[in-house]
Amino acid sequence: MPPEESIALVDGILAPWREKIGADWDGYRNHAQRVARFACALSVAAPDTQRKIAIAAAFHDLGIWSDGTFDYLPPSVARARDFLHAQGLDAWAPEIERMIAMHHRVRACGEPDDALVEALRRADLVDLSLGFVSFGLDRALVATVKDEFPNAGFHRCLAGLLAGWFREHPLSLPPFLRW
């Protein structure tokens, strides 16, 4: 799948959520695009693999806005499952659900069937760290992707959400972290 098709797929998935995402639209859309591009670069470039990555990247944090919660992994997984069912891709659901559910895992996903889970986890961390953590990705690629899909306030949005979480739950880690 050429990068343009991956970009179009992520945008197509997110388009119905534009109003709900609201002012964070550019930030989240660009974050999802960066994560998709980084995950594709970290994995095998087969077309089905790239489609799975694009779908998982589009949905991976969507529950923040679709369901208005910082415990967003379960609703993100549910939204992805519904999408896959509507597309007749039920067979992909277990892997994509795991990609989303484990993308904030602290430790590497080392199971043999977890190559895409680990690619998405690493890609999200590349983006979250603004490219400081690169998992061997070429720095020029990271810079190019960041230029093509600018931050648009996404990290500021996350910082605000985290600050709100810790104000309300000062002794609890955010619910999306996995060990």
The residue to which tokens 């589009």 are assigned: 58
Question: d(Cα 80, Cα 70) in Å, to the nearest integer?
Answer: 17
Q: Does the pLDDT of residue 21 top 90, yes or no?
A: yes
pLDDT band at 14 (very low <50, low <70, confident <90, very high): very high
* SS3 per residue for 88-123: CCHHHHHHHHHHHHCCCECCCCCCHHHHHHHHHHHH
pLDDT band at 179 (very low <50, low <70, confident <90, very high): low
* pLDDT score at 87: 97
**Single-letter residue type at 150:** P
Query: What is the average pLDDT value for the chain, to the nearest integer?
Result: 90
List all residues 6 or more positions away from 23 whose beta carbon is below 8 Å from its beta carbon. none
What are the tens digits of pLDDT across the range 54-106? 999 999 999 999 998 888 899 999 999 999 999 999 999 999 999 999 998 87
77: its two tokens: 């997984």
Q: Does the pLDDT of residue 174 top 70, yes or no?
A: no
For residue 23, count CB atoms less than 10 angstroms from its CB and return exposed for 0-12, middle for 13-18, buried for 19 or more. Answer: exposed
Q: Does the pLDDT of residue 175 top 70, yes or no?
A: no
8: its two tokens: 């179009």
